[in-house]
Amino acid sequence: MSLPTWNILVVDDEPTFRKTLRKSLTVGGHRVEEACSGGDAVDMLSHSAFHFALLDLNMPGMGGMTTCRMIRSINARIGIVVLSVRDAEQDRVAALDAGADDYLTKPFGLRELIARLHAIQRRIQTEKEEEPEVLKAGDLQMDLQGHSVWRAGEALHLTPKEFELLAFLMKNQGRPVAHTTLLRTIWGPNYGNESHYLRSYVKTLRKKIEADPARPEYILTEPRVGYRFCGPVAEDFTTSV
């Protein structure tokens, strides 16, 4: 049985480390790209698909933690592994809270890294296979197969795009999802900069699912990033479109 090959982005400000890791991974059949900063990584991830991002924490400009959060907002399913010389427990916890799937301290062995990537891939695949047919949050219920939505037992009429948008947000409940990700996932790869278009859909969707659209409980705005779907008890984020 052939082993999987991955598209991997190495994000590190040390050229020697990037090139060494790239060479080692390429020998295994993987396709590897390099980014020397968090800003470059975010830009590359907004335009190209990767299975994994291997991320350093100590970088000038946009820090590793912020970069990790941005990567996770762009792609909810990408595997993120932090590779850092920092080995304090608080750094590991902070990285995982920022959205990382795993954490390895430099120096590390290539075999261990590959094993961690396989473990992340298996977990992501299991999550896809176990995806529920009915999504629930508060008094909202969405039947993905039946293409229907209820609020407090009352059927709601959603357009096809509204249904796709709500389904994607609910599947990523609790995670910030970038404008670009939503536009390209729902409307196609040629979209990405039409944030005004997305705001219009979110506004209409809120009128249908929120008890008070002016004070939404489900679809919350993540300033300068996108939107986050939460249960109705969350009130920690800015909510105006």
Distances (CA, A) of 189 to 67, 75, 131: 23, 14, 24
Query: How confident is the model over 81-112, as pLDDT tens digits?
Result: 999 999 888 888 888 888 898 999 999 999 99
**At residue 188, does pLDDT exceed 80?**
no
For residue 6, the SS3 value is coil
Q: 47 pLDDT band (50/70/90 cuts)?
A: confident
Alpha carbon distance 220, 212 (integer Å): 13
pLDDT of residue 3: 66
- Write out the residue limits of the CATH 1.10.10.10 domain(s) in the chain: 134-229
Mean pLDDT on 202-222: 94
- Give the single-character DSSP code of 233: T
**Residue 34 has which token pair?**
């390099």
Least trusted range by pLDDT, from 82-91, 154-163, 178-187: 178-187
- Write out the residue limits of the CATH 3.40.50.2300 domain(s) in the chain: 7-129
Domain 7-129 falls under CATH 3.40.109.10: no
Q: 239 pLDDT band (50/70/90 cuts)?
A: very low
Cα dihedral sign, 41-43-46-49: negative
Cβ(6)–Cβ(117) below 8 Å: yes
Domain 134-229 falls under CATH 1.10.10.10: yes
